[in-house]
């Protein structure tokens, strides 16, 4: 098999250039004819044009088509379902820090050092491990060697998570592998996420977030948002899921469902438990 290609059913796809309508049909249980009819009637799914003029699709298109199918199964007409999904499409954000500053300024920003961020991150991770809810667990590690230092811990997080992924600048000594668990996803050169530190967990009943941006020119100083506010955690998770998809990872369908559902706001008791864990980490010698 040629390098850069993999088989999906009976259709080969080129990983770096997306895939054709046949693969999209296989992954959604529809036929190419049905998808072409949708495209002619509604301009959906759009995909992108390759240099050769062929329509190419990605995992994001699969998720959009599945969402239309779910809405139709709930009783919504095809036209209304497509319109609802298209209205919800958005340009993927590239920075958790930017999303926090833009959409959640009321959460405030604290300048924290590395020790405080490690304690807060461990608290969020410990809470995810202590629960039997199989949460979504995501993180950014800047460089791959920083994730390597935490690999055993994140292997355990992935084992009990609904899905887990980390994004970083991996290299040959510890390469990216979007099919691993947790998925190890390569950040594009110039991605603002290379300056960010993020740990986010989302489940049906609780959510938590540690988001930090390394201050240029400062020694281990980070502008940080630490919160159990569910909308903020979900927004951060969307950024990282988009980054993981762009790197070739394929989140299961229930990840999109978890992020689309309203869910429950983290209770005060659960929030207190998380941040008391952080204080306990800080208190250790």
Tokens at residue 272, please?
């207190």
| Residue 15 predicted with pLDDT over 50 | no
Q: Looking at the structure, do residues 145 and 271 belong to the same domain, yes or no? A: yes
Computed over its alpha carbons, how large is the radius of gyration of the chain? 20
Tokens at residue 167, please?
């994004």
Q: Is the peptide bond before 45 cis (omega within 30 degrees of 0)?
A: yes
Q: Whose CA is closest to 253, among 86, 81, 73, 28?
A: 28
The sign one gets for the Cα dihedral 143, 148, 149, 151 is: positive
| Residue 144 predicted with pLDDT over 90 | no
What pLDDT, on a 0 to 100 scale, did the predictor assign at position 153? Answer: 93
Q: Looking at the structure, do residues 158 and 228 belong to the same domain, yes or no? A: yes
What pLDDT, on a 0 to 100 scale, did the predictor assign at position 14? Answer: 39
For 39, the domain range is: 5-88
| Pairing state between β 55-56 and 110-113 | unpaired
129 membership: H or E segment, kind and range: helix 114-130
Going from the C-alpha of 116 to that of each of 76, 120, 123, 147, 201, the distances in angstroms are 48, 6, 11, 18, 18
Q: Looking at the structure, do residues 78 and 21 belong to the same domain, yes or no? A: yes
| Residue 237 predicted with pLDDT over 90 | yes
| Pairing state between β 11-14 and 5-8 | antiparallel
pLDDT band at 13 (very low <50, low <70, confident <90, very high): very low
Q: Looking at the structure, do residues 45 and 114 belong to the same domain, yes or no? A: no
What pLDDT, on a 0 to 100 scale, did the predictor assign at position 89? Answer: 62
Dihedral Cα 61, 197, 109, 281, nearest 10 deg: 130
Tokens at residue 189, please?
């050169």
What pLDDT, on a 0 to 100 scale, did the predictor assign at position 92? Answer: 61
Domain with residue 279: its CATH number is: 3.30.870.10
Domain with residue 45: its CATH number is: 1.10.1660.10
Averaged pLDDT for residues 229-234: 92
| Residue 263 predicted with pLDDT over 80 | no
For 22-40, write each residue's pLDDT tens digit. Answer: 999 999 999 999 999 998 8
DSSP letter for 204, please.
S
What pLDDT, on a 0 to 100 scale, did the predictor assign at position 107? Answer: 92
Better-scored residue on pLDDT, 192 or 67: 192
For 196-210, write each residue's pLDDT tens digit. Answer: 999 999 998 899 999
What pLDDT, on a 0 to 100 scale, did the predictor assign at position 5? Answer: 35
Averaged pLDDT for residues 235-262: 88
Identify the bridge partners of residue 223 per DSSP, sorted by sequence position: 111, 213
For 67-123, write each residue's pLDDT tens digit. Answer: 889 888 877 788 878 877 776 665 566 899 999 998 889 999 999 999 999 999 999
Q: Is 188 helix (H, G, I), strand (E, B) or coil?
A: coil
Q: Looking at the structure, do residues 71 and 20 belong to the same domain, yes or no? A: yes
What pLDDT, on a 0 to 100 scale, did the predictor assign at position 131? Answer: 79
Helix axes 114-130, 151-160, angle to 10 degrees: 30
Q: Looking at the structure, do residues 23 and 103 belong to the same domain, yes or no? A: no
What pLDDT, on a 0 to 100 scale, did the predictor assign at position 11? Answer: 39
Identify the bridge partners of residue 198 per DSSP, sorted by sequence position: 140, 211
What pLDDT, on a 0 to 100 scale, did the predictor assign at position 6? Answer: 36
Q: Looking at the structure, do residues 151 and 215 belong to the same domain, yes or no? A: yes
Q: Whose CA is closest to 133, among 7, 254, 218?
A: 254
Helix, strand, coil shares, percent, the chain, to 5? 50, 20, 30
Of 2-16, 196-210, 235-249, which range is least confident? 2-16
What pLDDT, on a 0 to 100 scale, did the predictor assign at position 24? Answer: 94
The sign one gets for the Cα dihedral 101, 107, 110, 112 is: negative
Angle of CA points 12, 251, 148, to nearest 5°: 105
Q: How many C-beta atoms lie closer than 10 Å to residue 82's C-beta?
A: 23
Q: Looking at the structure, do residues 105 and 77 belong to the same domain, yes or no? A: no
Q: Which of 22, 57, 88 is the last residue of a domain?
A: 88
| Residue 132 predicted with pLDDT over 70 | no
């Amino acid at each position: 098999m040629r390098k850069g290609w993999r088989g999906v059913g009976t259709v080969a796809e080129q990983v770096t250039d997306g895939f054709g309508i046949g693969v999209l049909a296989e992954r959604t249980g529809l036929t190419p004819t049905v998808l072409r009819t949708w495209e002619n009637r509604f301009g959906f799914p759009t995909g992108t044009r390759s240099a050769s003029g062929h329509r190419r699709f990605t995992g994001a298109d699969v998720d959009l088509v599945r969402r239309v199918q779910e809405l139709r199964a709930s009783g919504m007409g095809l036209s209304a379902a497509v319109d609802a999904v298209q209205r919800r499409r958005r340009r993927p954000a590239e920075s958790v820090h930017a999303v926090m500053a833009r959409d959640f300024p009321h959460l405030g920003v604290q300048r924290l050092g590395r020790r405080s961020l490690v304690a807060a991150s461990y608290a969020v991770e410990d809470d995810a491990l202590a629960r039997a809810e199989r949460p979504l667990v995501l993180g950014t590690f800047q460089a791959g060697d920083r994730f390597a230092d935490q690999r055993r811990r994140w292997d355990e997080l992935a084992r009990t998570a609904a899905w887990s992924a980390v994004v970083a600048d991996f290299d040959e000594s510890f390469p990216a592998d979007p099919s691993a668990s947790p998925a190890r996803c390569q950040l594009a050169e110039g991605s603002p996420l290379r300056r960010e530190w993020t740990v986010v967990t989302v489940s049906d009943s609780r959510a938590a977030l540690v988001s930090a941006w390394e201050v240029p020119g400062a020694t281990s100083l980070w502008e940080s948002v630490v919160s159990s506010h569910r909308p903020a955690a979900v927004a951060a998770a969307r950024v990282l899921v988009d980054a993981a998809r762009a790197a070739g990872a394929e989140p299961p369908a229930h990840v999109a469902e978890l992020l689309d559902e309203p869910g429950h706001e983290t209770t005060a008791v659960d929030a207190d438990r998380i941040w008391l864990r952080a204080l306990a980490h800080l208190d250790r010698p």
